Structure 1
């Protein structure tokens, strides 16, 4: 008989952060944690929630120093993948070294930042490397700007992943014109959306998530939706836990088969 572990579909958490207070923080950071979120504790969360794999996303307050991320990926022996933050002028060899360590993409956390000029030479070179390595570009930005930015990324031939329901305007929710534009991007089949961190959408975050999920499912299909725990829920630690967010997913996607497809959909995208 085959080992049962080989027959079960993967269950992948596509968004988590690890760090400790001894790491050098980036200048100009908007936030710095006052606690540790080490790899061992994250792996415990995966085990307790029966998650087979996870994705570590470089936190913005660590800037482009991905050394702790890389060390954690190596320590996890293939169970995890990474999304790095890099300088636009990063060399091909620097990116290949990250690739060998288990990094599968770069993150553009553009909240509160000017939009990058993707036509600039260094950006064109970086995105060319991203495309050639089969990486993804993960973007955190409000929905109203994604309608402008994402088509530029797609024109560069890169796969694009949008964080946290694509961050529509808190007051408008799914009626946000930017979010409506994001829904149209589903037809490209080159964009994925993370159904993660509903608490970042205000007091009515769970109600928003239910409305947004139904629209995203119809626009993107289950194979282009990703779930992320957003552990350790930076700036929302007092009200959030891994288990709470995993349980909300069960309520959000009540159909077990549908939920299994969403949890398994990152398998190829993240090279598991």
Structure 2
């Protein structure tokens, strides 16, 4: 009980630290993350808890990670494998400059996801942000840097969502099904993330540098699945006679294949069908009967 209260208190302190570093008032910050100012005040006072979605938005707007908000470190051991250090945003430096960098990154990420990497020009990103092309080049020297950072942005977003959604779920079976849910290419943010991944897979085939970054990022996702399965084996809810890495390999491959089919609108493939197939696989091959 005290441990939970201490953790929540430390979380509120770190959110206050984000607020102090962010330009503008607390009300303006609340508006920026789409949260009623009264709810933010109540959460800071400890009379309500931040939701996973709110923590994710606070982290993104404050240029921090959810892992840092909850556990006090970007690389703390948690329910999801942490990204490589290079994929973690720095909290040091000028807040206004960091805000500009994030604005450009958000614009580039959405444009690449919606139009395709090769259809996006630096001038498009500049126009979207209302800045000069020189400003874009200051933050991202080359066009390839935009795709590289878009991938890192997706990795950070996925990690933040996983930590925010899963840190309070102790049952490994429930956590694994939630991981599956967080990976479904639903309309909106998740479908855009899938678009980024498809383009990264394509570029990785011709660009060794992008291939290394993709490999590091994908390893994080594989390790998150594997550690969840390993914990489920320790809890006695998953089969104990199969290597967790082998099960993770099969599950991630199934997710990838089904996700591509959903994104390319193959007849009979939908998010609902994908969810059912993945649940059937988990219940048939991973859950202990």
Same-fold call, TM cutoff 0.5: no
TM-score for the superposition, normalised by structure 2: 0.30
- Compare the two structures and name the one with the higher strand fraction: 1
TM-score for the superposition, normalised by structure 1: 0.31
Larger Rg: 2
- Compare the two structures and name the one with the higher helix fraction: 2
